[in-house]
């Protein structure tokens, strides 16, 4: 009997991107607590977003969904739906992981680039990688994370935004 996944491409690549404006928390602004890859930061500004604003997890979700040809995070979990207000973005990653598996794919590796002037990521980089790997059910060696600055150029460089790029390589699970 033929394998039902034979028609699937062996490898698929997805790119995820997210950017969040950073503002002080209410009442001074609209910012939420600053969380990246599930790690909270003590920082004077946080992301403006409908969920918890975790730009790393959002970009991971878009990379995974894009690799399997599904709509992006904004369509899957629209900001017009009050159910997602303040939602822990780990939930979105778990749903994207389930979709990936249901489509017959497994993660080969994930490469994450976080661009922000502050806070510095190096003290918590290992925790960020561990959180991503745990949510995706993969070894830490399958997840890479880099922190970059924007050299004080534009909103990211001025500390008014955080930007994340993610590339995911998936392989047919069979």
* Residue 8 confidence (pLDDT) above 80: no
Q: Quick check: is 73 in a domain?
A: yes
Q: Which tokens go with 12?
A: 């698929």
- Integer Cα distance of 129 and 145 in angstroms: 7
The total number of structural domains in the chain stands at 1
Per-residue pLDDT tens over the stretch 98-126: 999 999 999 999 999 999 999 999 999 99
- In this structure, are residues 16 and 62 in contact, taking their beta carbons and an 8 Å threshold? yes
Q: Which of 72, 48, 15, 65 is nearest to 161 (CA)?
A: 48
Q: What's 140's DSSP letter?
A: G
Give the domain range for residue 155: 11-172
Q: Quick check: is 105 in a domain?
A: yes
Q: Quick check: is 60 in a domain?
A: yes
Identify the pLDDT of residue 6. 62
5 band by pLDDT with thresholds 50, 70 and 90:
low
Residue 20, SS3 per DSSP: strand
- Integer Cα distance of 36 and 58 in angstroms: 10
Q: Quick check: is 2 in a domain?
A: no
Per-residue pLDDT tens over the stretch 25-55: 877 888 889 999 999 999 999 999 888 899 9
Q: What is the CA radius of gyration of the chain?
A: 16
| Range of weakest confidence among 54-68, 78-92, 118-132 | 78-92
Give me the residue label for tokens 């561990």: 130
Mean predicted lDDT score pLDDT of the chain? 92
Ramachandran region of residue 152, left (φ > 0), alpha (ψ -120 to 50) or beta? left
* Residue 1 confidence (pLDDT) above 50: no
Q: Quick check: is 72 in a domain?
A: yes
- Integer Cα distance of 104 and 113 in angstroms: 26
Identify the pLDDT of residue 3. 52
85 band by pLDDT with thresholds 50, 70 and 90:
confident
Q: Quick check: is 126 in a domain?
A: yes
Identify the pLDDT of residue 74. 85
Q: Quick check: is 1 in a domain?
A: no
């Amino acid at each position: 009997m033929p394998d039902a996944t034979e028609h699937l491409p062996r490898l698929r690549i997805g790119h995820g991107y997210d950017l969040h404006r950073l503002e002080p928390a209410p009442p001074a602004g609209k910012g939420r607590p600053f969380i990246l890859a599930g790690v909270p930061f003590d920082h004077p500004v946080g992301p403006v977003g409908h969920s918890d604003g975790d730009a790393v997890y959002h970009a991971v979700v878009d990379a995974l969904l894009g690799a399997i040809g599904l709509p992006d995070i904004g369509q899957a979990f629209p900001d017009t739906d009050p159910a997602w207000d303040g939602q822990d973005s780990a939930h979105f990653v778990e749903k994207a992981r389930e979709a990936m598996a249901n489509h017959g794919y497994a993660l080969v590796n994930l490469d994450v680039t976080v661009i922000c002037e502050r806070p510095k990521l190096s003290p918590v980089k290992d925790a960020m990688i561990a959180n991503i790997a745990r949510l995706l059910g993969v070894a830490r060696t399958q997840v890479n994370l880099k922190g970059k600055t924007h050299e004080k150029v534009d909103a990211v460089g001025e500390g008014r935004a955080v930007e994340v790029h993610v590339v995911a390589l998936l392989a047919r699970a069979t």
